[in-house]
Structure 1
Amino acid sequence: MTHPLCRPLFAFVLAAAGQSMAPRSAVAEGLPPTLVDSLDGWKASALAHCWTLDDGVLTVENDPSKQASTLWTEKSYKDFVVELEFKFGEGVVDSGVFLRQENDQIQLGISGSLKRDLTASPYIGGKGYPIEAQGVAEVLKQDDWNKMVIVVVGDDYDVWLNGEHVTHYQSETAIESGPIGLQLHPGNTMTMQFRHVRIAELQ
C-alpha cells in the first residue's frame, strides 16, 4: 500500500518558457491534508534513533558521534512538489532537502562552508551555492515555524518561503528520478523540527 505522503495527486501547469509555475494557493489546495503521523515510507540512511516523531512533529538531533543521517523517502520521484514546515532548534542548524540525490539540495539553516544562513538556496555538490535565494532575510522566522514549498520539474527548482518566491535554479546535475531526503548534517550539535510534510507527484 502506498503511503499517503507518496501518492500521485494532481497535474501541474508548466509555463511555455519551461520554468515551473507554482501559484501558492494551487500548491496548497492540490496537496493532501495528511500530516507526518508515521515514518512508514521513509528510511534513515544511518542513525535512525536521531529521528523521532511525536504528535506530528518530526525532530532530528545529533547524537554524540555527530555523524550524518538522511531520512529518505522509499519512493522515487520525477517531477514533484514538496510542502513542509520547519523550525530551527538548538545549536548550529545545518540541514536541507535533498532532491532525488545527495548532490542537489535546498539548504535549511547555516551553511557549513560559508558559516551563514543560506536557507532556500540550492547547494550543488562540486559547485557550492551557485546562486543565493533572494529576500529570505525579510521572511525567515528564526524562532518560529516556517513554511517552504519546493517545486521540481526536470532540472528546474523553484522555492517559496512563507509565501514568497525566493529561488529559481536550473541544475546541470539534476537526475531524472530519485528519492527525497531530509538532512542531518555531520559535525554539528543541532536540533531541527519538521511538520506537515506533504509530497505530490506532478503529472
Structure 2
Amino acid sequence: MDAVAQNKTTKENWTNLFDGKSLKGWKAVGGKAPYSVENGAIVGRMTKGTPNSFLITEKEYADFILELEIKLEGDKTNSGVQVRSHIDPQANNGQGRVYGRQVEIDPTSRAWTGGIYDEARRNWLYPLDLNEKAKTAYIAEQYNHVRIESIGNELKTWINDVPVAYVIDTLDASGFIGLQVHSIPADLDGKKVYFKNIKIQTSNLKPKEFPKDIYVVNLTPNTLSSFEQNAGYKLLFDGKTSQNWRSAYHYQFPTKGWEIKDGIIKVLKSDGGESTNGGDIITKEQFSAFDLSFDFKLTEGANSGVKYFVTLKEETKGSAIGLEYQLLDDVKHPDAKMGRDGNRTLASLYDLITSNKDGRARRPIGEWNRGRIVVEKDNTVTYYLNGIKMLSFVRGSKEFRDLVAISKYKDWDKFGEAEKGHILLQDHGDEVSFRSIKIKELK
C-alpha cells in the first residue's frame, strides 16, 4: 500500500489510519519514547527516564469502530490504545500529559488485556476481575487482534475475537486515538511495542453482539441501559423515591435520618451510633442468589455497611443482623483496627474475612466508589470494589462456619445461611451517600 492510500476508504467502509510506511497523520506527545516504522508496523521503543509516551492521531473521532493488531515484547510492562482522549499541554513540565480512556494491553500475570483504564484521571474503570474468562484471550509475544467499539456513550472491547469489557460513560464525546509506550524501569530499556493494520469505521456502524452474561460498568447514575435491562437488571433506587425501601423496624420509610436529593439516597450524620437516628433501611423484597451493585461515598471518619440475607428474626435493638460488606474510612475510624487482621476494614466481610488490600481499588474519601456483591446459587459470594476482586467465600462451608465460630456472630444459629433475605443500608450515625443501586436475580 503506498502512502497516498492512507485515510482512503477501503472495502467494508474501513479507513486505514496507518499507511504501512510512514507516520503521516500521527504525532508523538508526552514522553520521549521514539516511534518508527519497521516492516509495515509502527514500533514504539521503551525508554528509561521518560514518562508515558503516546503517538496520537492528528484528527479527533467521535463514534467509531477501530481494529488493529498489537504485539508487546516481554511480560513486565504494558501498553494501551487511547480512545476519545485529550492532552494537557502544560503538564509534565511542558511535555504534556495525555488523559482519557485507554484499552489496556497487559502481558503480565495480572492479565487485564482489553480492560479499560482512565489514563491520568479516574484510574481503573473495567479491570478484568469483572470478566475472568477473558483473561486468557491475550497471546504473549504474538500479534493480538484488538477491536474497539466507541459508539454513543458505550465503549466495548474484544481481544482476538473474545468479548472483554463494556463501559457506559458520559465523558468525552470525541477525542484523539493514541498508541502508548509505557514508562519503564531501566532494565526494560529498548523493549518494543508493535502496532499494525490500524483501521477505522466512522459511519454506518454495525456493533457486534455482546454476551448478556458479561458485567457492564455503567457510570451514568441511577440508570439502566437497554442491554442491562435485557440481561435482567433492575434498579433498587430510581434516584428520586424510596419506593423499594422501608425501615428495618416498621413498614414505612424513615421520617428522619435519611435524605433523598439530587439522585442520592443519604444517611445523615447523627451520633456515630448504630441505628440511633433514622435507623437501617431494607429492601421491601427479599433475595437469594443475586448480583448487586451500588455506588457509595464516605465522609471523613464514616462507618456504614451494606448487609444481605437480613431476615429480622433476631429482633436486635441496634443494627439488624446479616452478612455485611463493610463501608469504612480505614484511616480515621477506629473500627479498622478492631476485629482480627483487619477484617473490619473497607470491602471486608465484616468481622469474618479481610478484603484485598490492593490500593488501586480504593478511591479517596469524598469520592464515589463502586461496590458489588455477587451471590451464586451454589452459595459462593464474591466482593468487588471499583471492579477489583476483594474476597470470595462459600456460605455454609466448613471454612465459613469456622470463621463465624470465632466472630461476634458466634451466638446466632446458622448465621448468614438464610435461604433468602432483605438487602440493608446501614445507619451507623455517619453521613454516607448511595446511588446507582441495581440488582440482577440469578436463576
TM range, normalised to the smaller chain? Answer: 0.7 to 0.9
Distance in 2, Cα, partners of 1:78 & 1:70: 19
1:109 aligns with 106
How do 1:42-81 residues align onto structure 2 when only pairs under 5 Å count? 42-46=26-30, 50-81=34-65
Distance in 2, Cα, partners of 1:179 & 1:59: 19
Distance in 2, Cα, partners of 1:30 & 1:141: 28
TM-score (norm 2): 0.37
Aligned residues: 180
Contact (CA 8 Å) 1:93, 1:192: kept in 2 or not? Answer: no
Call closer, same or farther: CA 1:144–1:110 in 2, change over 3 Å: closer
Q: Which among 113, 118, 129 is matched to residue 112 of structure 2?
A: 118
Distance in 1, Cα, partners of 2:31 & 2:123: 26
1:166 aligns with 164
Look up the SS of the partner of 1:202 in the other structure. Answer: coil
Check if 1:84 corresponds to 2:68.
Answer: yes
Check if 1:31 corresponds to 2:14.
Answer: yes
Q: Which among 117, 127, 135 is matched to residue 132 of structure 1?
A: 127
Call closer, same or farther: CA 1:94–1:49 in 2, change over 3 Å: closer
Which consecutive unaligned segments of at least 5 residues does structure 1 have? 11-27
Q: Which amino acid aligns with 1:193?
A: Y
Distance in 1, Cα, partners of 2:25 & 2:153: 25
- What CA deviation, in whole Å up to 9, does each residue of 1:53-80 have, x standing for no partner? 1121111112232332110000011101
Check if 1:182 corresponds to 2:166.
Answer: no
Identity of aligned residues (%): 24
Look up the SS of the partner of 1:90 in the other structure. Answer: coil
Contact (CA 8 Å) 2:100, 2:118: kept in 1 or not? Answer: yes
Q: Greater CA radius of gyration, 1 or 2? A: 2
Distance in 2, Cα, partners of 1:136 & 1:35: 31
Q: Which amino acid aligns with 1:104?
A: R
Give the C-alpha shift of residue 6 in structure 1: 4.2
Call closer, same or farther: CA 1:49–1:127 in 2, change over 3 Å: closer
Contact (CA 8 Å) 1:82, 1:199: kept in 2 or not? Answer: yes
- What CA deviation, in whole Å up to 9, does each residue of 1:102-139 have, x standing for no partner? 2211111168xxx8331101102543223234332332
Q: Following TM superposition, where does structure 1 have runs of at least 4 consecutive aligned residues deviating by more than 6 angstroms?
A: none
Which consecutive unaligned segments of at least 5 residues does structure 2 have? 86-98, 205-443
Backbone CA RMSD of aligned residues: 2.8
